């Protein structure tokens, strides 16, 4: 941010009271800011309808805002903040709100856009909503969420500003851990590709996330792993100039005997016969067992 951005951010944060809600204290019967389309509705008053119906009304109001392509108010940051607050309240009260792929895409794209919003209080709330989605979505949608947003999250871990970097690292850890229940090789390739990033913050985060994701995938799911491609990525990562990346990938190799079936492990060893860096780690950590 330049000096003008900082001044504006301080002004809006002061003029607009930004309240953040961890999951355990999320409102169950009112909206602190009301609906986006009707700020007076449900503000500090109990909803007179069932919780599921109330959550759905909040969600549909948020979708209406997301679908408004004619938003021109340059001071709509407050509404963006309210959007993410209301979405958290809606999903924590009724997790299965998403009905169509188009809705899912709109939510993910808008969240991805705002996790690095110039207004830090909006960015923080976008991260809290991402945390909410990670908690609420089923395995299939969670894997899809990880695939769609992981590249932007990794980019945010390279920020010099901790307000963007630290929440991104936290969400990456949660997302890679939980989305591993439904293995998607493309997520693994994205992570391994980013271990080669020239920004050491990004490559370090990618290394940590690769280890987190891989070690939480079931042995059964790893039976479909493209081993030649995986072995090539492992070798490239071990030749990285980033010590943190090397450390993460070495830890991954150490865990291979438990992570892979006997046949897949033999396949990895065979694919690594001419890979000097990988062979060195295998010899040190697993000889004479391999």
Please provide residue 47's backbone torsions phi and psi, each rounded to the nearest 5 degrees: -70, 140
| Contact criterion met (CB below 8 Å) for 205 and 244 | no
Give me the residues of the chain with pLDDT under 70, please: 1-15, 43-48, 69-75, 287-290
pLDDT in tens, 176-223: 999 999 999 999 999 999 999 999 999 999 999 999 999 999 999 999
Angle at 94 between CA 63 and CA 38, to 5 degrees: 40
Please tell me the predicted confidence (pLDDT) of residue 225.
Answer: 98
Residue 284: the pLDDT is: 85
Q: What is the pTM of this model?
A: 0.89
DSSP label at residue 180: T
In tens, the pLDDT along 59-78 reads 999 999 999 865 656 567 88
- For the chain, which residues make up each domain, given as ranges? 1-136
Per-residue model confidence (pLDDT) at position 183 = 96
Structure tokens at 284: 């040190």
Distance CA 264, CA 236 (A): 20
Cis peptide before 288 (omega within 30 of 0): yes
- Please tell me the predicted confidence (pLDDT) of residue 49: 75
Contact present, 201 and 226 (Cβ < 8 Å): no
Confidence at residue 9, expressed as pLDDT on a 0 to 100 scale? 52
**Separation between Cα atoms, residue 143 and residue 179, nearest integer Å:** 5
Who's near 279: CB < 8 A, 6+ residues apart?
272, 273
Tell me what pLDDT residue 2 has: 47
Q: What backbone phi and psi angles, to 5 degrees, belong to 31?
A: -115, 125
What is the structure's pLDDT at 115?
A: 96
What pLDDT, on a 0 to 100 scale, did the predictor assign at position 85? 97
CA distance 23 to 9: 26
């Amino acid at each position: 941010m330049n000096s003008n951005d900082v001044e504006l951010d301080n002004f809006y944060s002061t003029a607009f009271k930004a309240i953040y809600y961890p999951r355990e204290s999320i409102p169950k019967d009112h909206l602190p800011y009301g609906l986006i389309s009707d700020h007076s509705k449900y503000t500090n008053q109990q909803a007179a309808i069932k919780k599921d119906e109330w959550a759905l009304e909040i969600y549909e109001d948020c979708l209406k805002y997301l679908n408004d392509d004619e938003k021109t108010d340059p001071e709509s940051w407050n509404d963006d903040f309210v959007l993410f607050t209301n979405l958290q309240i809606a999903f924590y009260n009724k997790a299965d709100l998403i009905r169509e792929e188009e809705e899912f895409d709109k939510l993910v794209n808008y969240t991805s856009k705002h996790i690095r919003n110039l207004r830090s209080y909006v960015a923080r709330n976008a991260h809290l909503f991402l945390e909410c989605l990670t908690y609420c979505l089923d395995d299939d949608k969670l894997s899809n969420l990880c695939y769609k947003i992981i590249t932007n999250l990794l980019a945010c871990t390279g920020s010099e500003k901790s307000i963007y970097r630290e929440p991104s690292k936290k969400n990456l850890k949660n997302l890679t851990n939980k989305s591993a229940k439904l293995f998607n090789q493309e997520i693994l390739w994205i992570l391994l590709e980013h271990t080669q990033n020239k920004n050491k913050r990004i490559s370090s985060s990618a290394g940590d996330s690769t280890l987190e994701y891989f070690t939480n995938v079931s042995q059964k799911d790893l039976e479909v792993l493209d081993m030649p491609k995986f072995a090539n990525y492992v070798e490239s990562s071990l030749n990285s100039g980033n010590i943190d990346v090397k450390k993460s990938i070495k830890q991954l190799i150490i865990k291979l005997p438990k992570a892979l079936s006997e046949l897949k492990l033999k396949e990895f060893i065979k694919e690594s016969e001419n890979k000097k860096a990988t062979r060195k780690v295998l010899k040190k950590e697993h000889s004479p067992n391999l």
